[in-house]
Amino acid sequence: MIRHVILWTLKPELSELEKQKAASNMKFKLESLYGVVDGLLRCSVYIDKMESSTADVMLDSIFEDKKALDNYQVHPEHLKVKEYVHSVVCDRKCLDFIVD
């Protein structure tokens, strides 16, 4: 299995209300991919951060294998979500790793 973890920072020019709405939209859209993308075994998005956080949104997902992750990257529904995400974030960090 492959664990795919992403941390995003929302654009600083967004108001706090806009950031809350953007984070909620990201959570809904990303978690909606579960059951749509083959090989996506788990998809959780965290938006309730503590003050000590240096990111605004976290995606924690698990895929059957590398092929499933690769297919997710080009899946039409994921590409729609990705377009939205790019419109509201200014920074992205990714960590992919193998889990037993």
pLDDT reported for residue 86 = 98
* The 2-10 sheet, strands edge to edge: 40-46, 57-63, 2-10, 89-98
CA torsion 86-57-35-79 (nearest 10°) is 10
Q: List, for the chain, all residue ranges whose pLDDT scores fall below the cut of 50.
A: none
pLDDT reported for residue 100 = 82
Q: The pTM is what?
A: 0.95
What domains are defined for the chain?
2-98 (3.30.70.100)
Reduced to 3 states, what is the DSSP secondary structure of residue 60? strand
